[in-house]
A and B are shown apart, each in its own frame.
Chain A
Amino acid sequence: MAEQTKVKTLEKVVIRFSGDSGDGMQLTGTIFSNLSAVFGNEISTFPDYPAEVRAPQGTLSGVSGFQVHLGSRKIFTPGDKADVLVAMNPAALKVNVKHLKPNAIVLIDTDSFKKSDLDKALFTTDDPFTELGLTGVQVVAAPISTMVKDGLVEFGLDNKSALRCKNMFALGLVCWLFERPLEEAMHMLQNKFAKKPVIAQANIKALTDGYNYGNNIHASVSTYRIESKKAEPGFYTDVNGNKATSYGLIAAAEKAGLQLFLGSYPITPATDILHELSKRKDLGVITVQAEDEIAGICTAIGASFAGCLAATSTSGPGLALKSEAIGLAVIAELPLVIIDVQRGGPSTGMPTKSEQTDLMQALYGRNGESPVVVIAASTPTDCFDAAFWASKLAVEHMTPVILLTDAFIANGSSAWRIPEMDKYPEIKPNYVSNYQDEKVWKAYRRNKESLVRYWAIPGTEGFAHRLGGLEKDYETSAISTDPANHQKMVTTRQAKIDKIADYIPELEVIGDEDADLLIVGWGGTYGHLYEAMETMQENGKKVAFAHFKFINPLPKNTAEVLSKYKKVVVAEQNNGQFANYLRGKVPGFNPCRFNRVKGQPFVVARLVEEFTKILEA
């Protein structure tokens, strides 16, 4: 029977693990992506889980998914549609129909496809595949629950504990399908359940049983081989965006010689930043879980005043609550990093879904003329660099910086080359010890070139001073309501932010020099836009791609880049906020737009279709 098995060698493949939110699909997906990364594949992952902690078992609202995109060349997105779907119950199958390729392999647990299971998922017939119109898929149907229970008899586990291992059986099957050795998965399970050796062994047994089952029945489906790729030498680890953001802050604190302080309040999808930094007491990180969002940022402002690298992490609704305090940091000219992991809005919106709808809020959502630096991270691993940059600009320019990430890159992960910190730039706080002027120092005296005021840390003798939310006199730093002075301070605060353009990299354009279409994006859509450009080039189109990381101020060459191309399309997951912003900054700029606000990542195929239409119009 062995000859029936076809081995397909592919450049890329998309696998989606899906089941009840209690079925352990996130763990299964994580282990599979990690072992694939170790194996030498490029990976990109996307967890898609319900907002409810435990929705009713077997129902459509309780389906939790984890998508992995593997490839032998650079992978930037978790992929549009799945080549392989693991569906632990009928609800998982139904929810994922739209995420499936027509000829996909679907792996199901027949024990969970009984009449009652089909009823819970609102099927009306006993043939879910026909009912869903899935006529082209190859089904691998295995009585997973039964086999797991039988296989684990020797461990003497109760029924519930034994059945918890069925996700590992499914993982074993997938490992067989992709010709993955099991050693790495076993190693990960041993670490994961280090304190429960019996559970670790039971999981390993289920994993092995699943693999052997696939191997023994030689299910007559294609197996896949994804070639491994030669990456840049070095040490790698798997990292998601929220972790990378946390590490970026730590790295910046190390470079600046400052203690890192996070003031935060739990909010999906940003909470993992609070979790990670709370663990990092070994590295001296202080975290305060505050009583609310406002206290989150206010404790951080207090810590900044006291001399820390201070940050606060939140999502859209929390950013709204922090607005007034950001204004305080603007007028007090204190360094502060505000991380907004964007999610679906408005209001509570869709907490676990991803959007780019907070851009205007970040840029302008405050009373008064209150400019801040705005940066956006483009990929999970780029969150590290973006958080490092945000901290550097905050500390060196004495300003709040808003770092925009989103649920997609915050939860998505990819392999990350562990950086050598000596290759990163210095961070030099503008301490009051740098002050050199014949005039006596005052709190709002500035560096003449950068317009940055000097940071006098409490405890420093001779520099006691008072800051506050009231307007201050340019010269004396005392409270002032003088009209001309206010104008001068408003202009100066704006100019200080504008000057930061001199300290950031220029905008890069990738793709064809003589492109007929320039794709413009910002933030977490980088991967999808990049792949869309690549696909269009493969289709013989001349396209280029410019992706913005620095949003306020914009890179100095922005106008020059944008006016070079005949056609420009700005693609974003909102109703055109960045396009409108660019129109205000670049005279005469009138781009085409591609806007989707579904809470889901872009679909590359759809981007290619739309961009091609624009190009050919």
Chain B
Amino acid sequence: MTTEEIKYQPKDYKSDQYVRWCPGCGDHAVLNCLHKAMAEIGVAPHNMAVISGIGCSSRLPYYMNTYGFHTIHGRGAAIATGVKTARPDLSVWLVTGDGDCLAIGGNHFIHAVRRNIDLNIVLFNNKIYGLTKGQYSPTSDRGFVSKSSPYGTVEDPFIPAELALGARGNFFARAIDVDLKNTTEVLAASARHKGASVTEVLVNCVIFNDGIHRKITDKDVRAERTIFLRHGEKMVYGANKDKGIVLDGLKLKSVTIGQDGYTLDDVLVHDAHEKDNTLHMMLAMMSGDMPIALGVIRDVEGPTYDEAVHQQIEEVQAKNPTRKLHDLLMKGEIWEVK
């Protein structure tokens, strides 16, 4: 049986380690989705490297039966960049949280995205520091009360999508921990994308920030408060699939099909492959009366850093036969002593 014929199962990506997240933590669900997505992609576990920083979610590599590296706070993106640049043949994943990725690791994150290095970045966003027991994070809303902001924060949060697209990101997707099917679909899509992919998963912290995403994730409101985007499909949502997103001047608007003269024809078709990111940004930023956009919001091909590095080496080598240091030195300014 050759390697190609092996059909991997989710369990092949599970390690023997006991998972230590709190019971009810959203991370458990994402871990299961990741196992499924990896099996679906079918890359052998030993050809995968899962890198992480520090935080609750960054414990994840220990629960994978792949090569893994649990590194230091905020630096996962830089270490993953090294792994992938050295070895473009590996499937490299970066698991990170809102504090790890957007506070201490913000610089590495934006540069990894800007370089378009082929990493699958999974950003667990629970809008709280869990491992240090309950401080506000860079994604906490203004006024958020926590142990380190007893009177409420006086700063605005990052919106991960805005940051990723601002850093010229070519792939951004959003998922919620309670929707296993769609999260698995999105993670698999992020792996298929060549280049830096950012998948924000809205996860619940059952201990320090319970219910933070409830207004959009609870079963009774989810259909009305979220829209799952798929490339080439109409942007419709709602329990009865009777709502849609239309363009109203330069703004997006949510309408009910059949009301106020709107028909299905007026509803936008999602084009994740459009190079211009204006509409992707507008979709990703929907809030308030608009549904929160889930699914693959942007998915555009572009040259990847890791491939370009190796391609440049090949191009130079094609023109230059020198391969050994000694030969190089002998070609330089030298003189002989006899």
Contact = CB atoms under 8 A, between A and B. Distances in A.
Interface of A: 34, 37-38, 40, 188, 191, 230-238, 247, 250-251, 254, 259, 261, 263, 280-284, 286, 288, 290-292, 294-295, 298-308, 310, 324-325, 327-328, 332, 418-421, 458-470, 478-479
Highest count of chain A CB atoms <10 Å: which of B67, B70, B86: B86
A458 B317 contact: no
B46 A325 contact: no
Given A233-B336, A469-B70, 20 more contacts: A38-B335, A234-B336, A235-B337, A237-B329, A238-B333, A282-B322, A286-B313, A294-B75, A295-B75, A298-B75, A299-B78, A303-B82, A303-B86, A324-B72, A421-B324, A458-B47, A459-B87, A459-B90, A464-B65, A468-B71
B328 A235 contact: no
Nearest to A479: B62
Contacts of A479: 62
A241 to B, nearest CB: 16
6 contacts: A234-B337, A282-B322, A332-B69, A418-B334, A420-B326, A464-B46
A466 B81 contact: no
A298 B79 CA distance: 5
A421 B46 contact: no
Highest count of chain B CB atoms <10 Å: which of A38, A231, A301, A463: A301
A468 B313 contact: no
Interface string B70-110: 11100100111111111101100000000000000001100
Contacts of A250: 325
A479 B108 CA distance: 26
Contacts, number: 204
A459 B329 contact: no
A467 B69 contact: yes
Please list the 8 inter-chain residue pairs (A to B) with the smallest Cβ-Cβ separation, ordered nearest first. A302-B82, A468-B70, A298-B78, A299-B82, A466-B68, A295-B78, A303-B86, A281-B316
A292 B47 CA distance: 29
B203 to A, nearest CB: 21
Contact of A308 (B86, B322, B326): B86
Interface residues of B, number: 59
B90 A466 contact: no
A281 B329 contact: no
Contacts of A466: 15, 61-62, 64, 67-70
Contacts of B312: 281
Contacts of A310: 82, 86
A284 B81 contact: no
B86 A233 contact: no
A236 B107 contact: no
Contacts of B80: 302
Given A282-B323, A459-B87, A236 B334 contact: yes
B17 interface: yes
A234 to B, nearest CB: 6
A302 B15 contact: no
A301 B329 contact: no
Interface string B172-211: 0000000000000000000000000000000000000000
Contacts of A418: 326, 329-330, 334
A3 to B, nearest CB: 34
B338 interface: yes
B244 to A, nearest CB: 41
Contacts of A306: 49, 82-83, 86-87, 90
Contacts of B108: 291, 294-295, 298
Contact of A235 (B46, B70, B75, B336): B336
A100 B156 CA distance: 62
A282 B324 CA distance: 9
B159 interface: no
Contacts of B83: 302-303, 305-306, 458
Contact of A37 (B86, B324, B335, B336): B335
A254 B78 contact: no
A282 B85 contact: no
A470 B70 contact: yes
Nearest to B326: A421
A254 B324 contact: yes
B334 A237 contact: yes
Interface of B: 15, 17, 44-49, 51, 54, 61-62, 64-72, 75, 78-87, 89-90, 107-108, 111, 309-310, 312-313, 316-317, 320, 322-326, 328-330, 332-338
Contacts of A460: 46
B325 A286 contact: no
B317 A284 contact: yes
A251 B62 CA distance: 36
Contacts of B51: 302
Contact of B71 (A298, A303, A307): A298
Contacts of B90: 306, 458-459
Contacts of B45: 464
B75 A282 contact: no
Nearest to A302: B82
Contacts of B70: 466-470
Nearest to A259: B86
Contacts of A305: 49, 67, 69, 79, 82-83
A324 B326 CA distance: 36
Contacts of B66: 464
Contact of A284 (B82, B107, B313): B313
A306 B46 CA distance: 12
Contacts of A235: 329-330, 334-337
Nearest to A39: B335
Contacts of A233: 336-338
Contacts of B325: 247, 250-251, 254, 283, 421
Contacts of B334: 235-237, 418
Highest count of chain B CB atoms <10 Å: which of A188, A295, A300, A310: A295
Nearest to A279: B316
Given A232-B337, A459-B90, A468 B62 contact: yes
Contacts of A294: 75, 78, 108
Contacts of B87: 306-307, 458-459
B289 to A, nearest CB: 38
Contacts of A467: 68-70
A2 to B, nearest CB: 31
Nearest to A287: B309
Contacts of A284: 313, 317, 323
Contacts of A302: 51, 69, 78-86
Contacts of A298: 71-72, 75, 78-79, 81-82, 108
B69 A230 contact: no
Highest count of chain A CB atoms <10 Å: which of B68, B70, B320, B325: B325
Contacts of A478: 17, 62
Contacts of A238: 333
Nearest to B45: A464
A111 B263 CA distance: 85
Nearest to A334: B69
B79 A459 contact: no
B86 A286 contact: yes
Contact of B82 (A261, A281, A282, A291): A261
B67 A328 contact: no
A31 to B, nearest CB: 11
B184 to A, nearest CB: 22
A547 B218 CA distance: 71
A466 B17 CA distance: 11
Contacts of A327: 72
A292 to B, nearest CB: 6
Nearest to A419: B326
Contacts of A303: 82-83, 85-86
A236 B51 CA distance: 46
Nearest to B79: A302
A301 B317 contact: no
Contacts of A237: 329, 332-335
Contact of B75 (A37, A307, A325): A325
A460 B54 CA distance: 26
